[in-house]
Amino acid sequence: MNTLKIGDKAPNFIGTDELGKTHKLEDFKSKKLVVFFYPKASTPGCTTEACELRDNYDRFINANYALLGVSADSKERQQKFKEKNNLPFPLIADEDKQLINAFGVWGPKKFMGKEYDGIHRTTFVIDENGIIEDVISKVKTKEHSAQILK
């Protein structure tokens, strides 16, 4: 796993959200962009994280941030996750793992004694110039907004 670091240029990504809309890095030049990668839509930790960000969404907007969630789930699963939890930000359906690999968040994981490859819950804060300003690899799902907006 080769995760990007603070000071790196963010990948010039293109991703498609739950509604089929395309999002590119250049779309966010006038804002700071939070790209949060999560393992699987509608699982307990991912739901807690997304809802915590939702509950603080006005704070992000007022501080000139945009948010993008990314997982390898299908558009349909992302749409159900978004609708069920009333999430106000786009969710990228990265089934081919282009963004996941570009940001370096795919790799070996352990859960309940088993090893497997998967998405590491990681958040990147990208400044208005496309430079990674912060990388949060130890995401606290119940306090994630505070980690980002410190």
- Residue positions annotated with a catalytic role: 46
What single letter denotes the amino acid at residue 81? Answer: F
| CB of 91 closer than 8 Å to CB of 72 | no
Which ranges of the chain does DSSP label H, i.e. alpha helix? 44-55, 57-62, 75-85, 98-102, 144-148
SS3 141: coil
| CB of 139 closer than 8 Å to CB of 147 | yes
What single letter denotes the amino acid at residue 82? Answer: K
| Pairing of β 122-126 and β 32-37 | antiparallel
